[in-house]
């Protein structure tokens, strides 16, 4: 027979053991393949997610120029396109990854008293909802509906547009062919240009863009500044990991080529790729570190496997030597089966590893990400195979080098001093590595701490188990107790059992650490998402002003599960302070504020919105009954009202010239809506001047067309004098049946008395220190929604505010709006950001309802969506790999348990059969076996579980769990039905099944085994 025939027959003869060896070898190869394959897929997932999450204008590139007649901005778009096509013909790589460009030209113009853009954009009419015709011909434009409504324009009108800078350039007449509204103002088609910006920008009125499809109309004035460009979207789905370096190089080369034609290439894609690189680099650093303990465990298992199998075949090897086999041939005879099974496991292991990564990619990673068959996968499999061969040679060396008599011994040899030295070296190295990992918990080496700790504890537990078994054996022998005697004898005489303790301890520690880390990270991701989003859903919207947003929210969700939020940012001590105006009455039902119950939120809401007077709402006119007892000869004085309409600056309405006696002063309030509000009353000069005067006015009543108002003249503090920045006149207010106002001075400005419908200082909940010199101050001043500083009163302090972070101020939106609108219009404040927060009970179609009410939704976020996004960031992907490694380690450990039972099974069955013949009942033998495996597996299960959990609690504060570069810091772990209990349950179940298989195997120990001395 040939050597191959002998090996194949041996594998068939030992089918059960051979299968276990094959499965362990497959698992080892799978573990080796897992790291490079999963790392590659995870990095591709991060790249795909990052490019998909970025806006189209952020990943695309723009080629063009900006300038006047003498620049490339006045080139024909066709010429720029030809230049670009010629460049892309030389770079097919970039050409295949850029989508069809959109050609555009625009220039700043003025028309109808407003500033706007005259724009050409390719195929623009397909993106507009037009009433009328598309402006295809020279001298034709389309005007937006809201601009037309604001300026009384209609289709067919002639519109004069000034091209070029003010004081230069020229006027050009255009015909309006149609009125438009954009089908989707946020569509990727519009790129980075803000075409629809009607409103006030602080420098005057702006109008929406005028669209023309004639390029020469925009080039009619040489002094005009044109922006001429081609906008190329990036085909993000075609970008793979191997493309990134070439993509950067292509962009650089394209920029150099275009500069030779006086054209610029603008893109933020390199910045987007740089941000993605951070996560990819973290995965590249973490994956090998996670794979190291699993690979070491695999090789250790292979070492045990070969040592056990070679030791089992010691009599066969002895016979081979007795028949004259030289040492090399005997070694090949002893190792041939293991090497053949290990080699056969390589392709299966590679396929299993790739299949496992493919399953993970389908379930966890970004759409379109697959396992890639690349050389690192085969290299890892080759290294694993080579390391396995080395481990096999080292494991078999001791057995193969023994003399024939030593090989024929049936009693296992006791471990010598060499084993103790090896264990000592392993413990020393593990302890040193553990200290290094603990000293820098932020490094990827921190992930090695649990397996290193488990290795030290596993070796200690194995030694303790040996000592305990020896002691129990003596006690059981003296007392004559069969079950403890048999179990202790097996534990003390089997050196493989102590190695099994180390393997199971490390495997359980790996899985328990990974499961604990996953549970903690899942909670941290959920907390981070809740903190970052602030409510179940958040809509970023466009609104004219806060009152308009509040009114729309009230109509869209009358049930009160939605809240209008207005945000702004200020700076103090060179650090940003986030301002958060919320509807306090809706806050408890809407906000997701971690650590705050509904009762606590109710308390916060009541502190943010203490009782105050209701605003004095006006109708179409205002009347005031006023008594003047004494009137100065000069100057002539008047009585006025300060009125604020939502979205408009406060205006002063003259009620009439003051005359002596009691009379009614009246004025119509043109343009006043239902929300029009009386800010206050003013006494001042009718015709200017600076002559000093003194007067006392008694206001007896106020009324509007809807009836008398309730001004609260008799309440002290309800009306207060406004203090002018320059000092102003002396104003004294007397509460009573009639409001007494004493005014004296020479200041030319009006003396103003305001109706107080807000607290004196705006109550606020503060995250971080107060934005003043004293961080613990109870009051501070800060510009709120207006440019003037407003007084704030600290009504509460917290570590963090939802969606605002650790340096923020939360206050009531209604009171803040009332305060700000006393002096300015919030419609003019471009620093305000508008959001709508929706709670769990909010309508599912809230976004549609808001759009119907004129509130444009720009972006929608949700806690679940944000959590899912975090679950595909580098830390979460790294923990998934750790879970896979832990699961593989447990499978290895279970395989080792089975292998330990299979190796030497004939001798063990012979012993058990002999005990049966000697009179030991089968029940006692089963109890002895259960007792043996309870100690052999129970101890490492407990030690490994403790090592993994303790290692997680110690190391995780320094490990990024949510985003790269941000360690978890302090965290709380609350046991729940998460990954840890599931992993523990599956591990215990797997061990129980394995023990049952062992019992079934050893249950064949019948007296027939003694027939003919079979063993």
Unique residue bearing structure tokens 């360690």: 967
Pairing of strands 102-111, 226-232: antiparallel
Closest CA to 449 of 666, 577, 292: 292
List of residues 6+ apart from 795 with CB closer than 8 A: 607, 608, 763, 764, 765
pLDDT in tens, 264-318: 998 888 888 887 888 778 777 777 777 777 777 777 777 776 666 666 665 666 6
- Angle (CA) 80 83 85, round 5°: 105
Rounded CA-CA distance 221/168 in Å is 10
Top pLDDT among 332 and 291 is at 291
The dihedral formed by the CA atoms of 880, 884, 886 and 887, expressed in degrees to the nearest 10:
140
* Mean pLDDT, the chain, integer: 82
The lowest-confidence range among 338-352, 581-595, 967-981 is 967-981
> Is residue 994 within 8 Å of 930, Cβ to Cβ?
no
Reading the block at residue 92, the tokens are: 């097919």
Query: For residue 778, what are the CA distances in angstroms to 511, 794, 796?
Result: 50, 5, 9
Residue 105 structure tokens: 């030209």
Could you tell me the end-to-end alpha-carbon distance of the chain, in angstroms, rounded to an integer? 26
Structure tokens at 226: 């044109």
d(CA 924, CA 537): 64
User: Measured between alpha carbons, how far is 856 from 502 in angstroms, rounded to an integer?
Assistant: 63
CB 144 within 8 A of CB 179: yes
In the block, which residue shows the tokens 């009410």? 853
**Dihedral in degrees, nearest 10, Cα atoms 359, 362, 368, 370:** -10
**Crossing angle between the packed helical segments 495-533 and 269-312, to the nearest 10 degrees:** 160
Task: Render pLDDT for 153-187 as a digit per residue (tens, 0 to 9).
Answer: 889 999 999 998 877 888 899 999 999 988 877 67
If one counts every other C-beta atom within 10 angstroms of the C-beta of residue 867, the result is: 19
Q: Rounded to whole angstroms, how far apart are CA atoms 794 and 780?
A: 8
Q: Rounded CA gap, 598 and 605, in Å? A: 10
Average pLDDT over residues 349-361: 89
The per-residue DSSP string of 561-591 comes to: -EEEEEEEEEEETTEEEEEEEE-TTTHHHHB
The reported pLDDT for the residue numbered 337 is: 73
Check: CB of residue 474 under 8 Å from CB of residue 483.
Answer: no
Alpha helix segments (H runs only) across 365-448:
375-400, 404-407, 417-439
**Cα–Cα distance list, 471 to 411, 477, 634, 636, 771 (Å):** 20, 10, 116, 114, 70
Cα angle: 168, vertex 173, 177; to 5 degrees: 140
| Nearest of 177, 186, 183 to residue 128 by alpha carbon | 183
What per-residue confidence (pLDDT) applies to 964? 75
The string of DSSP letters for 33-46 reads: HHHHHHHHHHHHHH
User: CA 127: distance to chain centroid?
Assistant: 33
pLDDT of residue 1015: 46
Please tell me the distance from the alpha carbon of residue 543 to that of residue 565, in angstroms, as a whole number: 11
- Give the mean model confidence (pLDDT) for residues 654-669: 91
Token look-up 């009607």 returns 198
Residue 580, pLDDT score: 94
Q: What average pLDDT score do residues 179-199 get?
A: 79
Residues 413-464: pLDDT tens digits? 554 445 555 556 556 656 666 666 566 655 555 666 677 777 778 778 877 8
Which pLDDT score is estimated for 315? 61
pLDDT band at residue 328 under the 50/70/90 scheme: low
Parallel, antiparallel, or unpaired: how do β-strands 762-767 and 789-798 relate?
A: parallel
Q: What was the pLDDT predicted at 103? A: 93
- Using pLDDT thresholds of 50, 70 and 90, give the confidence band for residue 3: low
CB 541 within 8 A of CB 857: yes
Q: Which region among 293-307, 795-809, 975-989 has the lowest average model confidence (pLDDT)?
A: 293-307
CA distance linking residue 1003 with residue 1005, whole number of Å:
5
The whole-number pLDDT of residue 52 equals: 83
Share of the chain above pLDDT 90, in %: 24
d(CA 201, CA 197): 9
pLDDT value of residue 626: 93
Task: Tell me the C-alpha distance between 815 and 808, whole Å.
Answer: 18
Residue 212 clears pLDDT 90, i.e. is over it: yes
User: Distances in Å between the alpha carbon of 596 and those of 799, 802, 804?
Assistant: 12, 11, 16
Three-state secondary structure string covering 205-260: EECCCEECCCHHHHCCCCCCCEEEEEEECECHHHCCCCHHHHHHHHHHHHHHHHHC
CB 516 within 8 A of CB 948: yes
Q: Are strands 808-812 and 677-685 parallel, antiparallel or unpaired?
A: unpaired
204-208, 404-408, 965-969, range with greatest mean pLDDT: 204-208
- Give the DSSP H or E segment for 533: helix 495-533
Q: What's the CA gap between 139 and 857, in Å, rounded?
A: 34
Report pLDDT for 417. 44
Mean pLDDT of 97-117: 89
Structure tokens at 667: 């004025």
Match 């080792």 to its residue by tokens.
896
Distance CA 882, CA 38 (A): 11
| Cα 287 to Cα 43: distance, rounded to the nearest angstrom | 11
By residue count, the chain amounts to 1015
CA pair distance 104, 192, nearest whole angstrom: 11
User: Between the CA of residue 750 and those of 195, 680, 683, 720, what are the distances in Å?
Assistant: 42, 12, 6, 14
Residue 889 has pLDDT above 90, yes or no: no
* DSSP letters for 855-900: -EEEEEEEHHHHHHHHTTSHHHHHHHHHHHHHHHHHHHHHHHHHHH
Laid out side by side, the sheet with 856-862 consists of 779-783, 789-798, 762-767, 808-812, 575-582, 562-572, 833-838, 537-542, 856-862
Mean pLDDT of 335-344: 77
pLDDT of residue 292: 73
Q: What is the mean pLDDT of residues 479-483?
A: 72
| pLDDT higher at 339 or 320 | 339
What pLDDT is stored for residue 1014 in this prediction?
A: 47
pLDDT tens, position by position, 548-589 = 899 889 999 998 999 999 998 888 888 889 999 999 999 999
The answer to whether the peptide bond before residue 635 is cis (omega within 30 degrees of 0) is yes
CA distance 167 to 181: 32
Token pair, residue 119, equals 């724009």
Residue 83 is predicted with a pLDDT of 92
Tokens representing residue 637 in the block: 């004085």
**146: helix, coil or strand?**
helix
pLDDT band at 538 (very low <50, low <70, confident <90, very high): very high
Higher pLDDT, 311 or 793: 793
């Amino acid at each position: 027979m040939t050597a191959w025939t002998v090996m194949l027959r041996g594998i068939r003869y030992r089918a059960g053991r051979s299968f276990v060896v094959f499965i362990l070898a497959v698992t080892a190869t799978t573990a080796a393949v897992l790291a490079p394959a999963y790392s590659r897929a995870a990095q591709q997932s991060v790249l795909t997610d990052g490019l998909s999450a970025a806006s189209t204008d952020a990943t695309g590139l723009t080629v063009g120029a900006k300038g006047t007649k003498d620049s490339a901005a006045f080139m024909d778009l066709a010429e720029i396109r030809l230049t670009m096509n010629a460049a892309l013909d030389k770079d097919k790589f970039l050409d295949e990854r850029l989508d069809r460009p959109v050609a555009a030209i625009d220039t700043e113009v003025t028309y109808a008293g407003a500033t706007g853009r005259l724009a050409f954009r390719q195929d623009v009419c397909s993106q507009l909802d037009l009433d009328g015709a598309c402006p295809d011909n020279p001298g034709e434009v389309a005007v937006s509906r809201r601009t037309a409504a604001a300026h009384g324009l209609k289709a067919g009108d002639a519109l004069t547009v000034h091209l070029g800078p003010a004081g230069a350039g020229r006027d050009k007449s255009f015909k309006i062919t149609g009125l438009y509204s954009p089908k989707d103002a946020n569509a990727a088609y519009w790129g980075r240009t803000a075409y629809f910006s009607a409103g006030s920008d602080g420098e005057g009125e702006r109008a929406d863009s005028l669209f023309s499809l004639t390029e020469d109309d925009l080039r009619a004035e040489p002094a005009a500044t044109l922006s001429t460009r081609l906008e190329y979207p990036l085909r993000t789905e075609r970008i793979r990991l191997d493309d990134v370096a070439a993509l950067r190089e292509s962009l650089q080369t394209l920029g150099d080529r275009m500069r030779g034609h006086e054209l610029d290439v603008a893109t933020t894609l390199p910045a987007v790729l740089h941000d993605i690189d951070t996560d990819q680099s973290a995965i590249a650093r973490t994956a090998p570190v996670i794979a190291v303990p699993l690979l070491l465990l695999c090789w250790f298992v292979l070492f045990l496997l070969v040592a056990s199998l070679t030791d089992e075949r010691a009599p066969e090897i002895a016979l081979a030597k007795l028949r004259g086999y030289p040492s090399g041939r005997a070694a090949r005879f002893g190792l041939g089966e293991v090497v053949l099974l290990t080699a056969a496991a390589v392709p299966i292991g590679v396929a299993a590893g790739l299949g496992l990564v493919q399953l993970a990619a389908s379930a966890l990673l970004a759409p379109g990400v697959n396992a890639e068959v690349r050389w690192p996968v085969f290299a890892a499999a080759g290294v694993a195979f080579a390391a396995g061969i080395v481990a096999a040679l080292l494991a078999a060396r001791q057995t193969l080098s023994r003399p024939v008599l030593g090989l024929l011994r049936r009693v296992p040899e006791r471990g010598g001093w060499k084993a103790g030295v090896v264990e000592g070296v392993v413990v020393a190295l593990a302890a040193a590595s553990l200290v290094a990992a603990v000293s820098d918990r932020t490094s990827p080496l921190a992930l090695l701490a649990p397996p290193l700790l488990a290795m030290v504890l596993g070796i200690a537990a194995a030694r303790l188990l040996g000592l305990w078994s020896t002691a129990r054996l003596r006690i059981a022998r003296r007392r004559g107790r069969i079950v403890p005697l048999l179990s202790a004898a097996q534990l003390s005489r089997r050196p493989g059992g102590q190695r099994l303790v180390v393997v199971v301890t490390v495997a359980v520690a790996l899985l328990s650490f990974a499961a604990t880390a996953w549970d903690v990270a899942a909670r941290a991701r959920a907390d981070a998402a809740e903190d970052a989003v602030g409510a179940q859903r958040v809509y970023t919207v466009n609104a004219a002003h806060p009152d308009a947003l509040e009114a729309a929210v009230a109509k869209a969700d009358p049930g009160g599960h939605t809240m209008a939020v207005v945000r702004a940012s200020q700076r103090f001590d060179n650090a940003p302070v986030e301002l958060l105006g919320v509807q306090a009455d809706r806050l408890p039902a809407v906000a997701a504020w971690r650590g705050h119950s509904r009762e606590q939120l109710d308390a916060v809401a009541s502190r943010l919105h203490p009782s105050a007077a209701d605003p004095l709402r006006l109708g179409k006119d205002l009347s005031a009954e006023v008594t003047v007892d004494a009137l100065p000869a000069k100057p002539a004085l008047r009585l006025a009202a300060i009125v604020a309409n939502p979205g408009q600056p406060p205006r002063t309405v003259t009620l009439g010239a003051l005359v002596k006696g009691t009379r009614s002063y009246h004025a119509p309030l043109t343009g006043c809506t239902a929300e029009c509000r009386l800010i206050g009353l003013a006494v001042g000069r009718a015709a200017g001047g600076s002559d000093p005067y003194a007067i006392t006015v008694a206001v007896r009543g106020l009324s509007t067309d809807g009836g008398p108002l309730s001004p609260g003249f008799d309440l002290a503090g309800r009306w207060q004098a406004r203090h002018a920045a320059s000092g102003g006149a002396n104003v004294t207010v007397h509460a009573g049946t009639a409001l007494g106002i004493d005014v004296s001075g020479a200041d030319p400005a009006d003396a103003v008395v305001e109706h107080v419908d807000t607290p004196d200082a705006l109550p606020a909940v503060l995250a971080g220190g107060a934005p003043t010199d004293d961080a613990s101050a109870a009051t501070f001043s800060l510009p709120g929604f207006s440019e003037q500083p407003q007084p704030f009163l600290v009504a509460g302090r917290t570590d963090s505010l939802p969606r605002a972070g650790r340096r923020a101020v939360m206050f009531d939106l209604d009171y803040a709006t009332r305060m700000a609108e006393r002096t300015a219009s919030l419609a003019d404040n471009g620093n305000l950001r508008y959001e709508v927060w929706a709670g769990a009970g909010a309508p599912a179609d809230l976004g549609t309802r808001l759009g119907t009410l004129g509130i444009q939704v720009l972006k929608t976020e949700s806690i679940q969506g944000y959590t899912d996004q975090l679950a595909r960031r580098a830390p979460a992907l790294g923990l998934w790999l750790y879970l896979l490694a832990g699961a593989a380690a447990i499978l290895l450990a279970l395989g080792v348990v089975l292998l330990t039972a299979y190796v030497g099974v004939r001798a063990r069955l012979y012993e058990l059969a002999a005990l049966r013949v000697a009179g030991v009942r089968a029940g006692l033998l089963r109890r002895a076996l259960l007792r043996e495996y309870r100690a052999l597996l129970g101890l490492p299960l407990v030690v490994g579980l403790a090592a993994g959990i303790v290692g997680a609690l110690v190391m995780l504060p320094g490990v990024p769990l949510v985003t790269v570069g941000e360690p978890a810091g302090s965290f709380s772990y609350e046991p729940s039905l998460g990954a840890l209990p599931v992993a523990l349950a599956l591990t215990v179940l797997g061990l129980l099944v394995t023990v049952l298989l062992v019992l079934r195997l050893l249950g064949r120990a019948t007296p027939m085994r003694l027939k003919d001395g079979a063993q």
